[in-house]
Amino acid sequence: MAAKTETELNLAQLIVETLNLEVDPASIDPEDRLYGEGLGLDSIDMLEIALAVSKSYGVELRADDENNTKIFHSLRSLARHVQILRAA
């Protein structure tokens, strides 16, 4: 498993808490897929994550963003996107 950044660890914790997953946040590989395979999340889960991330990080994640497949691909891609938005 790849090492996680602080943002990735925080996002993993947020995802686990938001979705009430019975998974240790530290065990989530930052490169594993969030949607479908990997964590096995569905579109409703992704909407809940987007809302939680928006509230926690003060960034706007839009349902109509054409890059959502890339943004929500993995914990790492989501963390990278959040960091970009926060730096803007």
Cβ neighbourhood burial of 79 (10 Å; 0-12, 13-18, 19+):
buried
CA distance 53 to 15: 9
Q: Residue type at 46?
A: M
The per-residue pLDDT of the chain, averaged, comes to 92
Question: Going from the N-terminus, what domains does the chain have, and what CATH number goes with each?
Answer: 6-87 (1.10.1200.10)
Which tens digit of pLDDT belongs to each residue from 20-39? 999 999 999 999 999 888 88
pLDDT band at 3 (very low <50, low <70, confident <90, very high): confident
Which residues 6+ apart lie within 8 Å of 79 measured at CB? 5, 7, 8, 11, 30
Query: 84: which DSSP letter?
Result: H
